[in-house]
Structure 1
Amino acid sequence: MDWYQTLFELIDMRSFSNLWFWIVLAVVWSTASHWVLGVPYDMVLRARRQGGQAEADLEDMVRININRLLYIGQVSGLWLAGFACFLLTMLALLGFVYGVEFAQALFLLAFPLSIVGMLSLSTARLIQAEEATGELLFKRLNRHRLFTQLIGMVSIFVTALWGMYQNVSVGPLAG
């Protein structure tokens, strides 16, 4: 057995039968639901419970992150949107028209994350427009986290269904 064959057995480009893909999927959605607009969710909970300095720290961190997000959106949002659409279209065509399983896996990761990205931008605009602090800020961050988790659950479900379909229809690789 040569090193090339050993390397590709270790990496296994068939994504849906690879344990690493499912680990990455779980970590991506766990991380996405933990970091709400760039703020760790435990900080939101601590600020809600303790108030005072913890709440002031949360408000400062949210303000910094939404200003950063909105600045990026204003300065290069159109270019980023165009590039993201190009990348998603390329992955969708490679994956679902040409049958490249790796592209399917990347699309099933990237497309829902792009929706979360748009949701983050929308929530940041809303928080800035309302100048949300205190209880209203907690409400906005909780709602954003809930929607992110819902998108993640649907994404994991659809990915699992598609992955099972791929594994059943394609079957094991012939050695």
Structure 2
Amino acid sequence: MDWYSSIFEVIDMRSFSNLWFWIVLAVVWSSASHWVMGIPYDLVVRARRIGGQVEIDLLDIVRIHTNRILLIVDMSGTILLAFGCFLFTGLATLGFYYGVEFAQAVFLLLFPLTLVLVVNIVHARRLRRQELTLESVSKTIARCRLYTQIIGMISILVTSFWGMYQNISIGVLG
């Protein structure tokens, strides 16, 4: 047995029947829910509970990440949007028109993250317009986290239904 076939035996390209895909899906949404706008949510909770230096650290990191996100969007947002449209059009065409299951899986994994990115940009703009206080920052980040979790739940539901449909249809046909 050569190494090429053993690698593809371990990493099954039929993504929806592969345990690794579901592990990656869970880790991606868990991380997206914890790292809101690049800020760990436990820092927000600690700043509310403890205050003092942790609160100052939170406000500093929020200011830094807000400025960073908005600088990237303002400087190269159009190029990133064009690249994203190209990538997702290619994945959707390969996956749903030509039936490549790996492209379907990557599309269902990455496309909802673009919605989370839009939510992060909207909340970063909101944070820039207001004075950074612990109350306003924690409220905005909590709302951003809630929207991220809602997008994640819908994404996991849709991906699960589509994966079950693919596994059942391949099981019936194959």
Q: Same fold (TM over 0.5)?
A: yes
Large movers: runs of 4+ above 4 Å: none
TM-score relative to the length of structure 2: 0.96
> Counterpart in 2 of 1:113?
113
Q: Distance in 2 between matches of 1:44 and 1:7?
A: 42
SS in 1 for 2:13: coil
Work out the percentage of aligned pairs sharing the same amino acid: 63
Question: What does residue 4 of structure 1 align with?
Answer: 4
Shift of 1:173: 9.8
Q: How is 1:122-161 mapped onto 2 (pairs within 5 angstroms)?
A: 122-161=122-161
Q: How far off is 1:52 after superposition? A: 1.5
User: What is the deviation of 1:80?
Assistant: 0.3
Hey, what does 1:169 align to over in structure 2? Answer: 169
Q: After TM superposition, give the deviation of residue 134 of structure 1 in Å.
A: 1.6
Corresponding residue number in structure 1 for 2:23: 23
SS in structure 2 at match of 1:171: helix
Match of 1:73 in 2: 73
Structure 2 unaligned segments of length 5 or more: list them: none
- Residue identity in the other structure for 2:85: C
Q: Within 2, Cα distance between the matches of 1:31 and 1:92?
A: 24
Matched AA of 2:5? Q
Residue 48 of structure 1 aligns to which amino acid in structure 2? R
Counterpart for residue 48 of structure 2:
48
Give the CA RMSD over aligned residues: 1.4
TM-score (norm 1): 0.96
Using the TM superposition, give the Cα deviation of residue 143 of structure 1 relative to its aligned residue in structure 2, in angstroms.
0.2
Which consecutive unaligned segments of at least 5 residues does structure 1 have? none
